[in-house]
Amino acid sequence: MLSYCTNVHPAEDLDGIVRQLDTYAVPVRERLGLDLLGVGLWLAADVASALAEDPDTRARFAGELKARGLGVQTLNAFPYGGFHDDVVKHAVYVPEWTDPRRLRYTRDCLTVLADLLHEDASYGSISTLPLAWREPWDPADDERAAKAFEEVTAHAKALSERDGRLLRLAVEPEPGCVLDTVADAVSWLSGRVDPDHVGVCLDTCHLAVSFADPAREVRRVHDAGLDVVKVQASAALHVENPAEDRARAALAEFCEPRYLHQVRELSPTGEVLAADDLDAALTDLPGAGPWRVHFHVPLHTRPAPPLTSTTDVLVDAMTALDESGRPRPHVEVETYTWTVLPEADRTDLAVGIADELGWARTEVAA
């Protein structure tokens, strides 16, 4: 069941979430001609807590989803709240995995997912923060985070044994974080977590920004005895010659104040150079090699030349997963940046989501 992530919608209370499902998800399903549309729910911490405390409300919400032809197999528990505030930037990485609020939020999401999980889902997944932004972080933080993972795994295991279906946490490496790359995530998770309940979320925008080889990274996960539990189907901006005036002018259109847009440059010597945001990259990186920008661009369209997108990385990652012989992980289209795209690239949101999902059904979900 291909899903789209509802973190594109700003509601942070249950009534607002249901209204946005009516406004967007139902028209998307109808436009695609589907009886069932997968939704990867984002529940801000307050609404997740309220649902976790009230089984009757969870049951009613499950009924609301079913009545609209919407199915849940995954949640996005990376943003804690305020994801559509005017300026999010580094706040999206708070609270980190050393903070009891992160543990409580993730436990709440597990409790909710157990009761929302669609009958056809073989397991439930929750994508989560790659521990924290990279600094400050020290060995004591590592120990606190490991202990939190032990506690959340115990909760996932108890719910899984109760209901007979696995609930799994998917750690999502992201450039600039403690677990910056897939290699970082595999190194940290291996031997530290129960692989039945904790694995990797492969965000293909993040993968592309790192200039990583998709097939190699999929093998890396599997060789470590871990699973790719979830794929966030997403694409980054790519520019081959960022030193050109035309390219820099095009990139400047994607500078915006709300989200962090990490940039990596592949130098002529093969070194990967880094900037923490696009405006900093335009000032600080030499531009001697191609850039990848962490800006989730719609899968079915292409930015205006000389920019392109990295959908090839997504397709290559899915091919590698299918060829691995492992069961296919959950796939969630996650383009949360529709409202901050350059004006010329914006469209009616329900139409855009439907068209993007249509592309994904053809190119990666078959």
Q: What residue spans of 164-296 are helical by DSSP H?
A: 182-189, 204-209, 214-223, 245-252, 278-284
- Whole-number average pLDDT of the chain: 97
Average pLDDT over residues 329-336: 97
pLDDT at 366: 63
Per-residue pLDDT band at 365 (split at 50, 70, 90)? confident
pLDDT at 344: 84
Residues above pLDDT 90, as percent of the chain: 98
Which of 9-13, 113-117, 264-268, 361-365 bottoms out in mean pLDDT, i.e. has the lowest? 361-365
Average pLDDT over residues 304-313: 97
- The yes-or-no verdict on residue 81 having pLDDT over 80 is yes
Rounded CA-CA distance 328/331 in Å is 8
267-274: long-range contacts, CB 8 A cutoff, minimum separation 24:
272/210, 272/211, 274/175, 274/176
> How many residues would you count in the chain?
366
pLDDT at 57: 98
Fold that domain 3-235+309-363 belongs to in CATH: TIM Barrel (3.20.20)
Q: Where are the domains of the chain?
A: 3-235+309-363
Average pLDDT over residues 83-110: 96
Quote the radius of gyration of the chain (alpha carbons, Å): 19
Kindly write down the DSSP assignment for every residue of 251-271, as one continuous string.
Answer: HHTT--SSS---EEEE-TTS-
Residues above pLDDT 70, as percent of the chain: 100
Per-residue pLDDT band at 280 (split at 50, 70, 90)? very high
State pTM to two decimals: 0.97
Average pLDDT over residues 93-120: 98
81 phi and psi angles, rounded to 5 deg: 175, 165
The amino acid occupying position 217 is: E
- The yes-or-no verdict on residue 103 having pLDDT over 90 is yes
Burial 332-352 (b: 16+ CB within 10 A, else e): bbbbbbbebbeeebeeebbeb
CA 179 centroid distance within chain:
14
Over residues 193-208, the pLDDT tens digits come to 999 999 999 999 999 9
Per-residue pLDDT band at 17 (split at 50, 70, 90)? very high
